[in-house]
Amino acid sequence: MFDQATARIAGRFGRVEPQASARAYLLGLLSNVERKNCWQLAEQAGLARPGPMQRLLRYARWDADAVRDDLRAYAADHLGTNGAVLIVDETGFLKKGRSSAGVQRQYTGTAGRIENAQVGVFLALATSRGRALIDRRLYLPEHSWSTDAERRHAAGVPEDIQFATKPQLAGEMIAAALDAGITASWVTGDEAYGQDPRLRAALEARGTGYVMAVACSTRVRINSGRTPVRADSAAGRLPATAWQRHSAGNGAKGPRHYDWAWIHTGTDHHLLIRRNRTTGELAFYLCWSPTEVPLAELVRVAGVRWSVEECFQAAKGQVGLDHYQVRNWTSWHRHATLAMLALAFLTALAADAAPQRPAGQHHPARSRDPIALTVPEIRHLLGAVFPPPVISATRLLHWSTWSRRHQATARRSHYQRRTTNEPAG
């Protein structure tokens, strides 16, 4: 199955060398290597130098967007379209220095605070068989990057890349996926995307339904009223009979039950409200669909949004999405694309291995059957299927000497830079 996955992208590489490097790179991402950067992936592949891996990400001639297209089709083919939802979200990559494309001090949920970081906006596909990341965009901050031509050139940012908000990037990816034939009836995202009226309008224009999280201060019109009211105020006026108990999907500890209510706010528009049954905390969603749908369907889509966090966790923890040591714009997109393909491959294996049971059939409470194969377990098993080349003691010492020599060079460069930048005493 791995050969089938790599065969999809083989034609994207003009020469045999980068094609072989891409295959080795993917195998490295699927391996048990501790840090999945070019140095360790090259050592894992039995290479004498990291040069082939570095050239693959920086200089080799291949189109990462074309491979992204293949990845997107691969995910759709293996995960199907049953209950398909597109999810937009972002994740941060903590960095040092200011040379990496798009890096600046900015808020990232990865750290939960403002940090020096890059931020990537991602699109995920979630179906009844699984979920996978299918597109990515590196966010380029407006003031620190858009007008600094020298900085952009040094980081390899293409001239035609201009500032775009995160919702704009999300809209581009959604449109590209739908234009490519991805069959999804719904889009969902958190407040950063739900608060953008242009993104919601673009989805309505395409006839694609959405369930988008919004802030409690969002104003909506109730019963065709002239004066909009805050979402939390509208929720406070609801009678006890307006609330229904529904599960937002299964979590690690079983079904996630909440109280839900919805308020009609216009033609096919609703304000969906979720209430925590223990704390009473409220969450709000603006919803639209081209046809009438029941409350349970809106609840399902709202619950699916959390699966993108599982995608990020698996992408970073299993296939090294955040292990890269590159600064260049092209290199970032190439690494991210290959990491997403590796994750899609694992997800496809998990979907194919999942037991098929008749609808309505449930295991007894004390069933001793094992749980279905997970992405981490499949990656662990692949270590035995694709064992690394046997590395001699001489090769190990070679890599140790090589890496320590380059670390010494980097240390001297940092010391020299700091000494040059220190003011005269």
Q: How far apart are CA 401 and CA 395, in angstroms?
A: 10
State the first-to-last Cα distance of the chain, in angstroms, to the nearest integer: 64
Q: How confident is the model at residue 73 (pLDDT cuts 50, 70, 90)?
A: very high
Residue 52 tokens read as: 């082939």
DSSP code string of 192-210: HHHT-HHHHHHHHHHT-EE
Q: How far apart are CA 30 and CA 341, in angstroms?
A: 10
Q: How far apart are CA 230 and CA 170, in angstroms?
A: 26
Q: How far apart are CA 406 and CA 412, in angstroms?
A: 10
Q: How far apart are CA 267 and CA 271, in angstroms?
A: 12
Which pLDDT tens digit goes with each residue over 3-55? 888 999 999 998 999 999 999 999 999 998 889 999 899 988 888 889 999 99
**What residue has token string 């320590």?**
404
Is residue 243's pLDDT more than 50?
yes
Residue 359 is predicted with a pLDDT of 47
Burial (0-12, 13-18, 19+ Cβ within 10 Å), 115: middle
CA 351 remoteness from chain centre: 19
In whole numbers, what is the pLDDT of the chain averaged over residues?
Answer: 90
* Contact status, residue 238 vs residue 261, Cβ threshold 8 Å: yes
Q: How confident is the model at residue 362 (pLDDT cuts 50, 70, 90)?
A: very low
Tell me the C-alpha to C-alpha distance, in Å, between residue 25 and each of 47, 182, 319, 366: 11, 27, 11, 42
Burial (0-12, 13-18, 19+ Cβ within 10 Å), 415: exposed
Least confident of 218-222, 251-255, 264-268: 251-255
Burial (0-12, 13-18, 19+ Cβ within 10 Å), 217: exposed
Residue 408 tokens read as: 């010494």
Residue 365 is predicted with a pLDDT of 47
* Contact status, residue 344 vs residue 4, Cβ threshold 8 Å: no
- Name the residue among 257, 261, 256, 214 with its Cα closest to residue 237: 261
DSSP state of 62: B
Which pLDDT tens digit goes with each residue over 138-160? 999 988 898 889 999 999 999 99
Which pLDDT tens digit goes with each residue over 180-217? 999 999 999 999 999 999 999 999 999 999 999 999 99
- Name the residue among 257, 234, 238 with its Cα closest to residue 247: 257
- Answer whether 0.85 is exceeded by the pTM: yes
Q: How far apart are CA 77 and CA 68, in angstroms?
A: 14
Tell me the C-alpha to C-alpha distance, in Å, between residue 362 and each of 51, 253, 357: 52, 17, 8
Identity of the residue numbered 201: A
**What residue has token string 């990845």?**
71
The Cβ-side half-sphere exposure at 214, using a 13 Å CA radius, reads: 25
* Contact status, residue 346 vs residue 319, Cβ threshold 8 Å: yes
